[in-house]
A and B are shown apart, each in its own frame.
Chain A
Amino acid sequence: MTQTVPPTTPVATERVAGDPALSVQGLWKIFGPRAERIIGTPDAELSRAELKRKTGCVVGVKDVSFDVAPGEVFVVMGLSGSGKSTLVRMLTRLIEPTAGTVEIGGQDITKAPDSRLRELRRKHVSMVFQHFGLLPHRKVVDNVSYGLEIRGEKKAARRERAMRMIELVGLSGYDQSYPDQLSGGMQQRVGLARALANDPELLLFDEPFSALDPLIRRDMQNEVVRLHRELGKTMVFITHDLQEALKLGDRILIMRDGQIVQVGRPDEVVARPADDYVREFVSDVPKSHVLTLRWVMRPVDDQVAPDTPVLPCDTVVREAARVVLDHNGPVLVAEGDRVVGMVDDDDILRVVVAEER
């Protein structure tokens, strides 16, 4: 390999600068009787299957820690049964953690009393679910305003807010419909509007688009991108679809059997899979769409023509291809003002051709 090794990220945890919007420390969930006694014993180190055989308990999430910065879209990814849903539900204690802490906006919620927890769910964190979870006996507008209703807001106020949310997610004109009169994609827009109606700082998504067909799914992903741009909320987004993860995520956490396998930016994950599990995951990704020049450049040797073009190091390979191939000889790569490397036709072609095979 000729490429320079970029600073590798620690596999387990990555701290963000400044105060995180969400901070998870040593979070565990073990399903089963007397689960809390297992943590800290040698049993906790057993594999899932062995622990199940020995104690009858199932590990859902195993010692997970991470931080999410304000405004970040943090994607959690993994195969079915890897513990993603369990993890995201523990963030608002829809599932009680067995051990560990969750801090939201600097406050530890794992020990919060019920009233504090309700307050948190009502005002600060909302969730969108895979199976929508709409109330079939309520109109769209009443579904959207449900969260406002249970926190005791006046009818006129919550109606007005609900109508604005319905408009925001592009459902104007459907406010008087019932959920079963809407398509799956539209129902999920209602779910989204309901979550946004509370005006939370943190939005949680549990595979919200898995039940939708691919075209609708793409629409909805774009919708999330747009909302994120417009509202700038912090998001934790669960998915088992790598394309989705790459498209939405500022950072991606990959889980297997309840444990963290890798955390990193999309291009990092594609370029340097932490193990075979991740490699398998990313093997189908069109690399030229994800990899940036940072991952394919070589150290600069001295004989560079003075008029060589310079590209920023986070340019995606596909976009850089035209410039590099058009230019005779290597092209410089810069991070800020500093030249950090160079790429030539071969480096580009290696990435592009690799995925044609």
Chain B
Amino acid sequence: MATATVARPVEPGAAPPPPPEPRRVPRWVWALVVLGLWILVWSFTRGDDTLFVSGTEQTDLHERITDIADGLGGSAITGVIADGINAIVETLQGLISTPEAPRPAPQIGWLGVVAIATWVGYAVASWRIALLVAASFVSFGLFGFWEDSMDLLIVTLVSVFFAVLIGFPVAIAIGLSRTASRIVTPVLDLLQTMPTFVYLMFVFILFGIGAPNAVVCTVAYALPPIVRIAGFGIRDVSPAAIEATDSLGQTTWQRLWKVQVPMARRTIILGLNQTILAALSIAIIAGYVNGPGLGKPVLSALTQNNFGAGLVPGLLIVVMGIMLDRTTTAASERSERVARGGGEDPRRRRIVLGSLLVPVAVAVWYSRYAIDAAVFPSNDLASSVASRANDWMESITSALDGPSGAFKDAVTYGLLNPLQSLLAESPWWLAYAGLLALSLVVGGLRALVPAVVGLTGIYLLDLWNDTMVVLNMTIVATALVMVLALVFGVWMARSRRVDLIVRPTLDAGQTIPAFVYLIPVLALFGPTRFTAIVAGIIYAAPAAIKLVADGVRGVGETVVEAGRSTGSTTWQEITKVQLPMAKGSLVLATNQGLLYVLAMVVIGGLVGAGALGYDVVYALAHADYAGKGAAAGFSIVLLGILIDRVMRAAADRAGPGR
């Protein structure tokens, strides 16, 4: 076992290190030994026992799961929930999105909706936000996606409503009680390591396709941020304030509502903001299960590899994301300001808001009678943008053919293919043993249980080969992510200016739903696994870069200065002081990178990445393959947990990241 002593850097002034133990073999040597053995055995056994299952093949196990799934779906409870969700969503659709039977338009036409939304923007935030909201809504109609946009908004907001309804009490519970926190946290961890796609599969089994699936998935996916962040906010309230108010004789209830919740308000709203963005990002993916919204046109464009047709709805998703993000952020800032006595005179404001309701009411009334205010006048803006974008993309791809092709070939032949043949063409027992040994090398003994459970589970699910293919793509993409993260992270950490420029870009990148990244990458690289990898890199890089930058910056100035005073060069300073000390955050960044990439690689199943993602997509379209889809879903979950646990064990060994 490689229990190499992790060289903990000595802080200045700390006690002298204990006498050095006899030198142990460093971990990377052990890793090389494992790899060497693996390759050796592989060269004799290549192609045996790979457990390959073709795309349309099902094993007995999968068929048995299909039967179980059929039994699960359509039960009384799911029926009631589905009916309820359908009723809510359809009512709202009739109100603002789809025509209601005798009428040619929804109850409130676009003009009325724009007026109401603008008013809300002003009420919760400011004039600037109101303008942003108005412009966003008008753009939905102008580009011909009014109905899909409203559907997406409805699904998102209905889901957020339920997520808050369920999540806030849970947040309070984990904020107040350690026991509750200990019970809930692993569940949240699991929900968050599950790639979005997997939710669709599991919920599909219970709810079939359509709005109920979309809403249930979205609620499940949007729950963790509000629970975690709001719970943290409540737990984090200054103990001094709690103690002082306790000393006045308050009850637990009074403490919660008069002290803890108000003091955590800012954090709670941040949690709400994150929940809304999470909801938006999965509500789009729900297009796969025929969930209403902008996901559907994007999806059909992706399957036809029509860049232009996907671009417009993709951008509208981004617009909606920015609108929701900015509005909630500004609303939180405003509420904070008002709570601190800032802002305008409340009475005047009430009068202004009240009188603004008059034009809103007029707009709503008008939009019920005038057809132009009810249905957005059609135009060919979207199609002309689409065809222009396609022309433009064509010229770019032909111009970039050389470099992008070279890059693709380099990655494919240099990294992807060799690793894939090692992982996927090894007999399963060899890959099993090799992966287990590597997990132990990386994560130490604590990685043993998760590695054994994960690998055995994957084996039992009968999709070993597909999982190895996914693992291959994940590893390669993460390696590239970490190269980016190191370069940009160190650069950002060392220069405030670079940080100031790069960070907002990364922040913006993180608010864009994963799905949208696929559109341009697909156009550039065509429907191959490489597209999934590049999309995964783009999706995962921002989080990883930020983690590395923060980790390296967190290395105390004094330590760096101490190094500098010994006359180290910049390169030595980075490699000898900053990176080793930031080891914990590097491991953490790798972990995040792996999980993000995994999620994206799976989504990429639709655009040629094949393997587990394809199994899920195929099952979503063919109900009798539900068993295989579910098995693929479980395999993804197990792979995610395996990666997460092993990397966490590694991070703990590397010591605190900050």
Contacts and interface: CB of A to CB of B under 8 A. Distances in A.
Interface in A133-152: 133-137, 139, 146-147, 149-151
Contacts of B242: 133
B341 interface: yes
A126 B243 contact: no
Interface in B297-353: 339-341
A120 interface: yes
Contacts of B248: 121-122, 126, 146-147, 150, 194, 198
Interface residues of A, number: 34
Interface in A95-122: 117-122
Contact of A136 (B246, B251, B258, B263): B263
Contacts of A89: 243
Contact of B259 (A120, A126, A135): A135
A35 to B, nearest CB: 19
A180 B337 CA distance: 12
A129 B240 contact: yes
A193 to B, nearest CB: 12
A259 to B, nearest CB: 25
B565 interface: no
Contact of B247 (A119, A121, A151): A121
Nearest to A121: B249
A222 B246 CA distance: 28
A94 B244 CA distance: 9
A133 B341 contact: no
B247 A135 contact: no
B244 A191 contact: yes
Contacts of A136: 241, 263, 340
A139 B339 CA distance: 9
A146 B247 CA distance: 11
Contacts of B246: 94, 121
Contacts of B238: 133
A61 interface: no
Contact of A135 (B243, B251, B263): B263
Contacts, number: 77
A92 B246 CA distance: 10
A164 interface: no
Given A133-B245, A137-B262, A137-B265, A150 B251 contact: yes
A131 interface: yes
Interface residues of B, number: 22
A136 B246 CA distance: 16
B236 to A, nearest CB: 14
Contacts of B340: 136-137, 178, 180
A123 B244 CA distance: 15
Nearest to B265: A137
B241 A134 contact: yes
A220 interface: no
A273 B533 CA distance: 77
Nearest to B238: A133
B379 interface: no
A135 B245 contact: yes
B417 interface: no
Contacts of A139: 341
A270 interface: no
Contacts of A342: none
Contacts of A3: none
Contacts of A146: 245, 248, 258
Residue from A119, A133, A134, A135 having most chain B Cβ neighbours under 10 A: A133
Given A133-B243, A134-B241, A120 B249 contact: yes
B108 to A, nearest CB: 37
A104 to B, nearest CB: 13
Interface in B245-275: 245-251, 254, 258-259, 262-263, 265
Contacts of A117: 249
A127 B247 contact: yes
A176 interface: yes
Given A150-B251, A150-B258, A133 B244 contact: yes
Interface in B214-258: 238, 240-251, 254, 258
A178 B259 contact: no
A132 interface: yes
Given A132-B244, A191-B244, A137 B249 contact: no
Contacts of A133: 238, 240-245
Contacts of B243: 89, 94, 129, 133
Interface string B529-572: 00000000000000000000000000000000000000000000
Given A135-B241, A136-B340, A150 B249 contact: yes
Contacts of B262: 135, 137
A127 B249 contact: no
A21 to B, nearest CB: 18
Interface string A161-198: 00000000000000011101100000000010010001
Contacts of B249: 117-123, 147, 150-151
A269 B241 CA distance: 35
Contacts of A134: 241, 244
Nearest to A117: B249
B336 to A, nearest CB: 9
A15 B241 CA distance: 35
A120 B244 CA distance: 15
7 contacts: A94-B246, A121-B247, A123-B249, A133-B244, A135-B241, A135-B259, A150-B251
Interface of B: 238, 240-251, 254, 258-259, 262-263, 265, 339-341
Interface of A: 89, 92, 94, 117-123, 126-127, 129, 131-137, 139, 146-147, 149-151, 176-178, 180-181, 191, 194, 198
Ordered nearest first, which 3 A-B pairs have the shortest CB separation?
Answer: A133-B244, A121-B249, A122-B249
